[in-house]
Amino acid sequence: MRTIRHRNIVKVVTAFSGADYQGKDFNALVYEFMPNGSLEEWLHPINGEDERHKAPRNLNSLKRLNIAIDIASALNYLHNDGIPSIAHCDLKPSNVLLDDEMTAHLGDFGIARFLPVETSFIDVMGTIGYVAPEYGMGYVSSYGDVYSFGILLLEMFTGLRPNDDMFNDELNLHNFVKSALPERAEEILDVVFFQEIEEEETMYKKASSTCTQSSIILECLISICRTGVACSAELPNERMKINDVESRLRLIKKKLLKTPVYEGKQTINNPSFKDLYNATNGFSSANLIGAGNFGSVYNGTLFDGTTIAVKVFNLIRPGGSKSFKSECKAAINIKHRNIVRVFTAFSGVDYQGARFKAVVYKFMPNGSLEEWLRGKDDTNWRPLNFNFLIKKKLDIAIDVACALRYLHCDCQPPIAHCNLKPSNVLLDDEMIGHVGDFGMARFLPAIDKQNRFICIKGSTGYIPPEYDLGCEASTYGDVYSFGILLLEMFTGIRPSDGIFTGK
């Protein structure tokens, strides 16, 4: 567990090895508590066990899909980003834990294996129904986790356990779903989805009495089930790769969000101007934590105790409104552990009747990377920099690189940040890096040919040379900015330092 660090994996706080009061050996791991329990409890609640699950089916299609994406993201990290790669070997609903925001975290690495497994035969005791067939022959690989994920995905969207009494040697969950798709999909889907489908159809009819629009939600559910079937194929070489699985599920989510049932429900309830005003003590200078080209950022606390950061846009400055729109557009399409989370946005008027636009972010208690590299003024940056360990800097650099890879490779369409610099890398309470400020972001490729040559006003020293020539935004521009940021982190010298002149 010391080698694992990911937003969707349960955090190990510490470990203990010693003796109890009777002198017997005592070993324990201490985890971060997950207040919403396990996915098992939400899919198959026991009546009367917990008031939290009094409504037995309270996970709609979007919530389940978000959880599935979280699990796929964790597996993608274990299989492709870890050195060495890791196979979890025991993926099942009870090992998927949910935090207070219903974000999924993969736990229980008790039978995990580092890959490749050096021995020719290894005994892996997984869980019946979820364990891959080849594990019975001692063959362990990342494709075994993909099989388990496929079964879990089918269970999440059919409501049936893989060890249900209806399944026997001739019929299993994989074959049951595969034989029903696509014509008899409604027969095998969890009944809780019918209410969403009916709501969608009602909305289409209200829009037009002659509307014959087929259910997009049903199409998405069928696509999810097909993904589960493709993952749980009997032969390992016939299964999908987990990075392809994650990408496919994100595309399905994008389609699902366009349905009238979910359109406009993608953020928390919007606070009023009064709420933001009170939270920030009237946008007091004492709450000011940063200022940029298009606005100022204030910290604050909402009435429910939530700590937030509020970016208030300067609408008098040219580009202020456009920057607000870019932030909102990016927020709808982005969800990643290393990107600052946007809670909501506000567009209206202030107490004087003037236009007011703001974006509300999750507060990052450790400020920006800029402050850690140099301090809040240049007089004390060197001692702070000395104590800022090389390993921590490398961890933050990896966090930023992960965020850029997600924006460039996993988002559809890809997104170029266009303003990467230390002040736009924010650090949470665990010193994990999060990329923020998407006010200059561009969606790629630029479909509008008039935007082929577009003015991008980044930050001097970090902006790539081609942007000064009017070239269109590209992912390579972000790579240039990242390279400069990396050099700054490990040399301690700003790219705009006075020692640099001309070429």
Please identify every residue annotated as catalytic: 90
**CB neighbourhood size of 22 (10 A):** 6
- Kindly tell me the sign of the dihedral angle through the C-alpha atoms of 136, 137, 140, 141: negative
Identify whether the C-beta of residue 65 lies closer than 8 Å to the C-beta of residue 223. Answer: no
81 in helix, strand or coil?
helix
User: Alpha-carbon distance 156 to 73, whole Å?
Assistant: 17
| Side-chain half-sphere CA neighbours of 120 within 13 A | 0
User: CA–CA distance from 172 to each of 20, 124, 146 (Å)?
Assistant: 45, 21, 17
Peptide bond into 318 cis (omega under 30): no
Q: Rounded to an integer, what distance in angstroms lies between the CA atom of residue 191 and that of residue 210?
A: 27
Contact 99, 35 (CB under 8 A): yes
Spatial CA neighbour of 442 closest among 478, 409, 406, 468? 478
- φ and ψ of 425, to 5 deg: -110, 110
Which residue from 87, 70, 69 is spatially nearest to 78, judged by alpha carbons?
A: 87
CA dihedral 489, 422, 100, 260 (to 10 degrees): -130
Binding residue per annotation — 265? no
**CA 502/CA 242 separation, integer angstroms:** 48
Calpha distance 245→241 (Å, rounded): 6
Output DSSP code: residue 407.
Answer: I
Q: Among 186, 156, 132, which Cα is nearest to 44's?
A: 156
Triad 177, 179, 184: Cα angle to 5°: 80
Cis peptide before 116 (omega within 30 of 0): yes
d(CA 253, CA 334): 11
Decide: 451 and 474 in contact? Cβ < 8 Å.
no
Binding site listing: 311
